[in-house]
Amino acid sequence: MTISFENRVAIVTGAGGGLGRAYALELAKRGAKVVVNDLGGSRDGTGHSDAALKVVDEIKAAGGEAMSNGASVTEYEQMVEMVAKAKEAWGGVHILINNAGILRDKSFTKMDPADFELVVKVHLIGSAFATKACWDTMREQNYGRILMTASSTGLFGNFGQANYGAAKLGLAGLTKTLYLEGAKNNIKVNTLSPVAATRMTEDIFPEQAFARFGPENVVPAALYLVSEDSPTNAIVGAGAGGFHCAYVTMNRGVFLPPEERTVEGFAAHWAEISDRKDDFVPQSGSEQSQVILAAMQKAGAVG
């Protein structure tokens, strides 16, 4: 079965190059009308260019429909304007891929607080702003598909990327609340953790691997996650043909009687507290309290 995006309007932020461009081209090829957003700056977020326009030209040359948008995702009013223009031209906004991003890598010891702030602002606040700008429209339409772009750095850590990692895990967190809030209006929200050869990774990948990690290899996961039958609240990893899921899990731990609720009691039980044998994936934050309540009941501490 072909997965089509006919009659869908999609916004892809940071789509002037790299992964975003690949998503925009494929969405348009499959029938979506695409807003190609990109500030067109350099990898560290300085400057701007007409990168978005070039991708729009490519889409149009291939027979697709697209409009360019050169706004920064960090400017909420400009995001609102972007959504208004898409609605005016095409009647709605069904898909948002939050993909724009920059890098300002340095060990935390050497990191300038301003570089911490800007990276969090572009990735996390920028994605929240673009999402907020689309949110009411998606609710009114009773249809929305939103993809956040996280990273293995956010999910698992990476030396020299404290700012980036904090923002990226924040995006997985944003997904986890928005999927709950959007559910009744058929808004599905997922997180993608890509690995791809782009200007962002050109000095990290070994030369041989670079060729195998083309952005096109991430496209199947990204597009499925914003398609009609997408899951919701998934964290998916993709790169070079590898596809997998990541989960935030918790175990059931222990329930300590009052006399053992001391620092020493905690220390004595650490092996059990950290044992992963009964790990599960909570579907919302309330499950943490439910686990505690269930343990209390079992211990006869309530009732």
> Minimal distance in Å, beta carbon 233 to ligand NAI?
19
> Minimal distance in Å, beta carbon 266 to ligand NAI?
36
Q: Is 164 one of the catalytic residues?
A: yes
Residue 275 gets the label, from left (phi > 0), alpha (psi -120 to 50) or beta, of beta
Using the rule CB under 6 A, give the single segment among 68-76, 85-93, 137-145, 178-186 that binds ligand NAI: 68-76
In this chain, which residue has its C-beta nearest to ligand NAI? 18
Which is closer to ligand NAI, CB of 9 or CB of 100?
Answer: 100
Chain centroid to Cα 85, Å, comes to 24
User: What does the DSSP 8-state code read for residue 258?
Assistant: G
189 part of the interface to ligand NAI, by CB under 6 A: no
Among 40, 64, 144, 165, binds ligand NAI (CB under 6 A): 40
Which is closer to ligand NAI, CB of 74 or CB of 233?
Answer: 74
Distance CA 122, CA 103 (A): 10
Candidates 123, 108, 116; CA nearest to 74 is 123
Which is closer to ligand NAI, CB of 40 or CB of 182?
Answer: 40
- Return the number of other C-beta atoms located less than 10 Å from residue 256's C-beta: 17
Tokens representing residue 272 in the block: 């059990």
165 part of the interface to ligand NAI, by CB under 6 A: no
Among 8, 11, 78, 99, binds ligand NAI (CB under 6 A): 99
Binders of ligand NAI among residues 233 to 262 (CB under 6 A) are none
Which is closer to ligand NAI, CB of 102 or CB of 174?
Answer: 102
Among 24, 36, 37, 53, binds ligand NAI (CB under 6 A): 37
Candidates 210, 153, 206, 201; CA nearest to 43 is 201
For the residues of 197-219, what is the DSSP string, one character each?
-STTTTTTS-HHHHHHT-GGGTH
Using the rule CB under 6 A, give the single segment among 32-40, 89-97, 225-233, 245-253 that binds ligand NAI: 32-40
Which is closer to ligand NAI, CB of 9 or CB of 35?
Answer: 35
Among 5, 56, 78, 126, binds ligand NAI (CB under 6 A): 126
Backbone phi, psi, residue 194, to 5°: -85, 160
User: What does the DSSP 8-state code read for residue 280?
Assistant: B
170 part of the interface to ligand NAI, by CB under 6 A: no
Helices (H), the chain: 18-29, 51-61, 76-90, 113-120, 126-141, 152-156, 162-182, 207-212, 219-225, 263-268, 270-273, 286-298
Distance CA 219, CA 122 (A): 22
101 part of the interface to ligand NAI, by CB under 6 A: yes
Query: Which position among 164, 179, 224, 247 bears the catalytic label?
Result: 164
Among 5, 8, 9, 18, binds ligand NAI (CB under 6 A): 18
78 part of the interface to ligand NAI, by CB under 6 A: no
Distance CA 163, CA 101 (A): 12
Binding residues (CB under 6 A) for ligand NAI: these are 13-14, 16-20, 37-41, 43, 45, 51, 72-74, 99-102, 122, 126, 149, 151, 194-196, 198-201
Point out the residues that are catalytic.
164
